[in-house]
Amino acid sequence: MGKENMTDSPVPNTPFPAHIGIIMDGNGRWAQKRRLKRTDGHLEGLKTARRIVEAANRLGLRYLTLYVFSTENWKRAESEVNFILSLVKRYLVAELDHYRTDRLRVRYAGDMDRLPRDIASEINKACDDTKDYDGMQVVLALNYGGRDEIVRAVNRMLGQSGDGDSKKSLPSVSEDMISAYLDNPDIPDPDFIIRTAGEFRTSNFLLWEGAYSEYYISDLFWPDWTEEDLKNAITDYGKRERRFGAVSK
């Protein structure tokens, strides 16, 4: 759970999220509406990602997780998958200067093992080059699935606790232990998860971390999103009462 920062809010004296996750959906439909190719939608979606990273940074957000490609998105045509992955690489190379100027830190969530080697190494390079920056942290969720993250966390944990006789040495597991083995355990859970393109589902995004996130669904396709839409969403967040299972004050 993030600290509530009351000062940077676009709406004074309302709670401001520390961590926002965005399910950037609707690139294909955006393109279809214009009789363009799905890949044109992804290209436009990339421009939006750029715009929203800048806007979020200006607003003083601490953590922004972008859902770029899910563990299920491999089901798409190979040409579309390759296009998306090549865009990510282009983005990382092109944005590094901007990240340096704004002291933004790049992080990664997901399973890197299944990514093409050149993309994995570009991500590692971006994470490494920016690791000392103290500005907003941008988490790229790429080949990311919430279930997959939990499975990998449990396997990491078992890998470290085993002393040979795995049956005997199986530990009893707590929520804190699983949290500690997720992809970025130092990053607070998202306060707010935005999904564009009007779909009411998680699509496997931050299943564990999002247990008490506030959700916001926008009907706009991702390529149409602007700073104004981000501000409106954050204003909406400011009106929510987060109870975490307790009773209203």
Sheet holding 105-109, edge to edge: 105-109, 137-144, 63-70, 19-23, 192-195, 214-217
Among positions 68-87, residues that touch ligand IPE (CB under 6 A) are 68-70, 73, 84
**Binding to ligand IPE by residue 140, rule CB under 6 A?**
no
**Binding to ligand IPE by residue 28, rule CB under 6 A?**
yes
Instruction: Give the active site residue among 27, 73, 143, 204.
Output: 73
**67 binds, options Mg ion, ligand IPE, none, Cβ within 5 to 8 A by partner type:** ligand IPE
Beta bridge partners of 172: none
**Binding to ligand IPE by residue 203, rule CB under 6 A?**
yes
User: Which residues are CB-contacts of 201 (< 8 A; sequence separation ≥ 6)?
Assistant: 195
Helix (H, G, I), strand (E, B) or coil at 113: helix
* Segment contacting Mg ion by CB under 5 A, of 25-33, 87-95, 104-112, 133-141: 25-33
User: Which residues are CB-contacts of 22 (< 8 A; sequence separation ≥ 6)?
Assistant: 52, 64, 65, 66, 67, 193, 194, 195, 196
**Binding to ligand IPE by residue 46, rule CB under 6 A?**
no
- Measured CA distances, 63 to 90, 137, 167, 170 (Å): 22, 5, 39, 34
73 classed as catalytic: yes
Q: Which of 25, 44, 191, 209 touches Mg ion by CB under 5 A?
A: 25
97 classed as catalytic: no
Where on the chain is the footprint of ligand IPE (CB under 6 A)? 23-29, 67-70, 73, 84, 197, 199, 201, 203
Where on the chain is the footprint of Mg ion (CB under 5 A)? 25
